[in-house]
């Protein structure tokens, strides 16, 4: 191949001999190896995602170094070094892979090419990674109106260039488009607006990450995905990842937690639709802080199971609880001996059984039933008091006055639900509730559970029921059953 002018400079480095040289070959091998690693991490599955690395050569200034880029629409984990494209620093293709027989598609340079080249141009990068990791997609969906992802006081922030533990990491979010190349202008604007950033998130899509070298880009990519995953999990726990203390999300005031206003907005947007007749509310993270369940209710049940069983062992209700826990097939359950082994042996096994299942947060009806009976004692003795978010009582009263029936659906037993709302920090709220559903109607992540609830509440169409939750998988299942859905932390409609 003849020498090619790069940025107006005629370089011998683009000769055929250089295209076949060790630096170029090593970079191709490196991209193949990295793509296999990224595939196993879920970053480049389904032929999505990509990576590009500049050929490091001390004799060539970085802006003029050659670019190795993976192809588009191929199984990234099966790529070979000879499948790579070689580009000049201005994006001209210098070397293309040879076509492969069916069922392989004709070779095509990465659809991310224009965005990769823009990152090289504006950031003087040595490598750029485009990931479709689920964390980078979901974190942009938690708040659909947000234009930034912000997090601070997390150890892995130190892995992002220019950041320390106490720094706030800010990652711009741009909106997705139908075609990858259409993102180029938005990416460029984000890079210019956030000069400290080394990544740009694409909503409902993924992330672009760059670094001075492939090691820098890879290290930062791992840290970004860790931080996104941490943010998602903190959000599920009702904790605010964006604040230094990562404390409970305070949603009692402000538009994020205005449940009744959001429900009214949905109704007003659908004047041609029948009025909503029922609302079904989740508990953990929706009406009640998750921390109340994990830090108060669960420990109380664990610490008092022995006392409860000893005091009530001979009554029919407790014997029914024991019988349910003896049912075979409960994975991870500690074997419970027969009554012949004696009361103390049975109770000892039950205590170990319940403790292990509480720690694992098992959604087992038998466990939930026993927990409800233990909590009943705690509420009746004033050792426990239910907690609801500040906006919940007002919303319940408002819906009650409008004639909208409100139900609760939780993995906790119906007894536990009635206790929480009957002994709440706002008094007895049960008068505003029309009924309670637990896992006896089915798992909360299964569509048939919501179909059963819609049948039970007596609506003509499932769409007359609004389900409010903070768990994405539950929202998906409810929507598949035909219910209207609001995810409470963001009110994003599915």
Catalytic residues: 155
Separation CA 375–CA 361 (nearest Å): 16
Does 411 belong to an annotated binding site?
Answer: yes
**Residue 183 Cα to chain centre, angstroms:** 24
Peptide bond into 319 cis (omega under 30): no
Separation CA 278–CA 296 (nearest Å): 30
Does 356 belong to an annotated binding site?
Answer: no
Residues in CB range of 16: below 8 A, 6 or more apart:
1
The answer to whether the CB of 52 falls within 8 A of the CB of 69 is yes
Q: Could you tell me which of 122, 95, 128, 121 has the C-alpha nearest to residue 13?
A: 95
Does 424 belong to an annotated binding site?
Answer: no
**Residue 448 Cα to chain centre, angstroms:** 23
Does 205 belong to an annotated binding site?
Answer: yes
Q: What angle do CA 309, 310, 311 make, to 5 degrees?
A: 90
Does 250 belong to an annotated binding site?
Answer: no
Residue 427 per-residue DSSP state: B
Separation CA 253–CA 329 (nearest Å): 45
Does 303 belong to an annotated binding site?
Answer: no
Does 130 belong to an annotated binding site?
Answer: yes
Separation CA 259–CA 275 (nearest Å): 17
Token output for 315: 């009554």
Does 112 belong to an annotated binding site?
Answer: yes
Binding-site positions read 112, 130, 132, 205, 282, 284, 410-411, 444, 470
Binding-site positions for Zn(2+) read 130, 132, 205
Binding-site positions for substrate read 112, 410-411, 444
């Amino acid at each position: 191949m003849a020498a090619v002018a790069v940025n107006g400079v005629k370089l011998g480095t683009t000769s055929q001999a250089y295209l076949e040289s060790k630096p170029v070959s090593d970079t191709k091998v490196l991209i193949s190896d990295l793509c296999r690693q990224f595939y196993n991490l879920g970053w480049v599955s389904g032929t999505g995602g990509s990576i590009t690395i500049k050929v490091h050569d001390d004799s060539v200034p970085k802006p003029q170094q050659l670019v190795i880029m993976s192809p588009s629409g191929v199984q990234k984990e099966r790529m070979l070094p000879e499948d790579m494209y070689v580009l000049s620093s201005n994006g001209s293709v210098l070397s293309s892979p040879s076509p492969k027989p069916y069922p392989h598609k004709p070779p095509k340079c990465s659809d991310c090419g224009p965005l990769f080249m823009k990152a090289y141009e504006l950031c003087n990068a040595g490598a750029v990674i485009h990931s479709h990791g689920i964390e980078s997609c979901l974190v942009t969906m938690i708040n659909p109106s947000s234009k930034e992802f912000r997090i601070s006081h997390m150890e892995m922030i130190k892995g992002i260039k220019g950041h320390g533990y106490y720094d706030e990491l800010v990652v711009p979010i741009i909106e997705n488009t139908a075609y990858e190349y259409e993102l180029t202008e938005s990416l460029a604007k984000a890079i210019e607006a956030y000069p400290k950033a080394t990544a740009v998130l694409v909503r409902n899509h993924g992330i672009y990450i760059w670094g001075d070298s492939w090691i820098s880009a890879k290290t930062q990519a791992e840290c970004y995905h860790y931080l996104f995953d941490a943010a998602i999990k903190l959000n599920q726990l009702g904790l605010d990842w964006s604040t230094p203390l990562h404390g409970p999300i305070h949603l009692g005031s402000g538009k994020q937690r205005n449940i009744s206003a959001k429900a009214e907005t949905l109704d007003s947007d659908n004047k041609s639709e029948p009025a909503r007749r029922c609302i079904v509310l989740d508990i953990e993270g929706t009406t009640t802080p998750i921390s109340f369940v994990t830090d108060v209710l669960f420990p109380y049940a664990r610490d008092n199971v022995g006392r409860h069983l000893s005091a009530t062992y001979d009554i029919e209700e407790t014997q029914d609880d024991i019988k349910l826990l003896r049912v075979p097939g409960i994975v991870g359950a500690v074997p419970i001996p027969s009554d012949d082994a004696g009361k103390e042996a049975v109770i000892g096994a039950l205590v170990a059984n319940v403790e292990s299942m509480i720690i694992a947060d098992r959604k087992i009806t038998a466990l939930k039933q026993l927990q409800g009976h233990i909590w009943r004692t705690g509420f009746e003795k004033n050792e426990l008091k239910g907690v609801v978010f500040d906006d919940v009582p007002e919303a319940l009263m408002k819906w009650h006055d409008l004639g909208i029936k409100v139900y609760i659906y939780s993995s906790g037993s119906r007894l536990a639900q009635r206790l929480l709302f009957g002994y709440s920090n706002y008094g007895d709220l049960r008068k505003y509730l029309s009924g309670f559903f637990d896992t006896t109607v089915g798992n909360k992540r299964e569509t048939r559970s919501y179909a059963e609830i819609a049948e039970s509440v007596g609506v003509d169409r499932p769409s007359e029921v609004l389900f409010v939750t903070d768990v994405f998988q539950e929202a998906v299942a409810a929507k598949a059953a035909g219910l209207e859905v609001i995810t409470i932390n963001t009110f994003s409609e599915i």
